[in-house]
């Protein structure tokens, strides 16, 4: 993980406009594939651009950012294509990972979600956040999910319908 201000960041994927973003944020351009540098860049983007960070960063990524002071876990996936990002939360714990087996390895029961199975049988993909296993959720593409002791919020930051027409 990389530490950037209040954020501890785990990052996977790539940022296509990392050189531009680094210049805007006053950093040296990260070496392609340096996940630690990309995690630092992402954390600094969160500090400076806040909720606009993900719309300014272009690429294919999944990011987990934790603000210990605010007790806030922020999960984000880039639009169009991104690594998966799964999470589980109950009153005692929150677990997030790009792979489901890591969440099950933390003791979360492995039971197929019959609602997801039924949706798949009928090609109903309306709830992209529903996971294949009971109790697990997924962060949809182009979305940010935040978990705090007060609850969970999710918002889509990318809408291709909102692109201005020429």
Residue 151's region, left for phi above 0, alpha for psi from -120 to 50, else beta, is left
Per residue of the chain (166 residues), give pLDDT as tens: 999 999 999 999 999 999 999 999 999 999 878 999 999 999 999 999 999 999 999 999 999 999 999 999 999 999 989 999 999 999 889 999 999 999 999 999 999 888 878 888 888 776 777 787 888 999 999 999 999 998 999 999 987 777 666 6
86-90 and 93-97 strand pairing: antiparallel
Distance CA 90, CA 54 (A): 27
What pTM was computed for the model? Answer: 0.88
């Amino acid at each position: 993980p990389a530490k950037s201000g209040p954020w501890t960041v785990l990052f996977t994927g790539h940022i296509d406009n990392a050189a531009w973003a680094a210049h805007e944020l006053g950093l040296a351009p990260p070496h392609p594939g340096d996940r630690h540098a990309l995690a630092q860049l992402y954390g600094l983007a969160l500090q400076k651009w806040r909720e606009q960070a993900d719309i300014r960063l272009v690429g294919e990524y999944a990011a987990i950012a934790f603000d210990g002071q605010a007790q806030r876990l922020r999960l984000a996936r880039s639009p169009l294509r991104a690594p998966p990002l799964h999470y589980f939360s109950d009153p005692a714990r929150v677990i997030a990972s790009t792979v489901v087996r890591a969440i099950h390895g933390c003791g979360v029961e492995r039971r197929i979600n019959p609602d997801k199975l039924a949706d798949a049988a009928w090609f109903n993909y309306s709830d992209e956040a529903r996971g294949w296993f009971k109790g697990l959720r997924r962060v949809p593409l182009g979305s940010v999910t935040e978990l705090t002791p007060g609850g969970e919020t999710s918002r889509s930051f990318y809408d291709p319908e909102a692109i201005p027409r020429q």
